[in-house]
Structure 1
Amino acid sequence: MKILLPVDGSELSLVALRHAIHLVHQGLRAELVLANVQPPASLYEWMRAPDPRALTEIAEAAGQHALQTAESLLREAGLDATEVLVTGDPAHALLELIESEGCDMVVMGSHGGSALRSALQGSVSQAMVHNSPVPVTLVKPAEATETSPAGLAEADDVADESADA
């Protein structure tokens, strides 16, 4: 099984990564793919730095920075992962990575907000659940009192949703 793990550097994405690490330590045989998606350069960025190479270098540096903590967590857990940095709309890029990397599942963070908030925000996690050709596991953040010593959410805080193809 190959699991796509979107990482944006947020604590929420690291909670999802910790969940995947826990699954592997519990016996799930899986290859992990860490993915960071950088948004395309804005018009303002193009005006400030019109050199495409400079903008690419800035995006790559931001992506590497976002992956640093995830890499550290994997090293501490004794696990390896393939790392992928791409630029584009996050939901579309992740959907393309599912296919290009041959992923069987996605594990990602979810804010767990209301349907109205998700609709207004254009949630990446909601787009993944609705459009992914593979199952998507959404890991919600746990309250400080509901977190195990390893920082993993209790079972009630994990929602496993299978996306329609």
Structure 2
Amino acid sequence: MRTILVPVDGSESSLRAVRAAIKAANELGGANLHVITVQAPILSGNVTRFFSAEAIQDYYQDEGSNALVSAKALLDESGVAYQSKVVVGPVAMTIADYAKDNSCDLIIMGTRGLGSVTGLVLGSITTKVLSLTELPVTLVK
């Protein structure tokens, strides 16, 4: 059975990637879907000085859970089995590492996420993932 990774950030582009992954899973007669959201680590020393590590972890989990809500609703409605997870780290590297560590066969992701620069042809995270992985990557516009 194939394993498909779908990184999401709550954007419409990432939801289109979830729909494409559902379709692919159905066409393959089933697949293991891993739906993740990656929270970039807070690097400011001021934040870590005023908030406990536990509070920061809670923040990552809350933000990640919010980013997964719509994707999980689509997946639950489709009936396709999936695993979801909130991961913390440099976004593109964490996506590539997760795919490798979990023996994924394919990454399906949106071309642009919720970043502030919307005029780029491909999002910076998407471009970095393409350069960091040897896996096939299906981009969904």
Q: Which TM bucket (shorter chain)?
A: 0.7 to 0.9
Give the aligned partner of residue 120 of structure 2.
117
RMSD: 1.9
Give the aligned partner of residue 5 of structure 1.
6
The answer on whether the counterparts of 1:118 and 1:126 sit within 8 Å (CA) in structure 2 is no
Instruction: Using the aligned pairs only, state the percent identity.
Output: 32
Separation in structure 2 between the aligned mates of residue 30 and residue 23 of structure 1, nearest angstrom: 8
Runs of 4+ in 1 over 3 A off after TM superposition: 116-119
SS at 1:68 equivalent? helix
Q: For residue 30 of structure 2, what is the amino acid of its counterpart?
A: R
The answer on whether the counterparts of 2:4 and 2:33 sit within 8 Å (CA) in structure 1 is yes
Separation in structure 1 between the aligned mates of residue 102 and residue 20 of structure 2, nearest angstrom: 21
The answer on whether the counterparts of 1:107 and 1:136 sit within 8 Å (CA) in structure 2 is yes
Separation in structure 2 between the aligned mates of residue 25 and residue 96 of structure 1, nearest angstrom: 26
Give the aligned partner of residue 85 of structure 1.
86
Task: Kindly indicate whether structure 1 or structure 2 has the higher relative contact order, using CA contacts under 8 Å at least 6 residues apart.
Answer: 2
The answer on whether the counterparts of 2:93 and 2:132 sit within 8 Å (CA) in structure 1 is no
Matches within 5 A, 1:6-155: 6-43=7-44, 44-47=46-49, 49-111=50-112, 117=120, 123-140=124-141
Q: How far off is 1:29 after superposition?
A: 3.0
- TM-score, normalised on structure 1? 0.74
Structure 1's unaligned 5+ residue stretches are 141-165
Q: For residue 104 of structure 1, what is the amino acid of its counterpart?
A: D
Residues 36-91 of structure 1: CA deviation (Å, up to 9, x unaligned): 100111415324x4201000001111101111111110011011211121111100
Residues 119-147 of structure 1: CA deviation (Å, up to 9, x unaligned): 9x6x111111122121000011xxxxxxx
- TM-score, normalised on structure 2? 0.86
Separation in structure 1 between the aligned mates of residue 29 and residue 9 of structure 2, nearest angstrom: 24
Larger Rg: 1
Separation in structure 1 between the aligned mates of residue 66 and residue 120 of structure 2, nearest angstrom: 28
**What is the total number of aligned residue pairs between the two structures?**
133
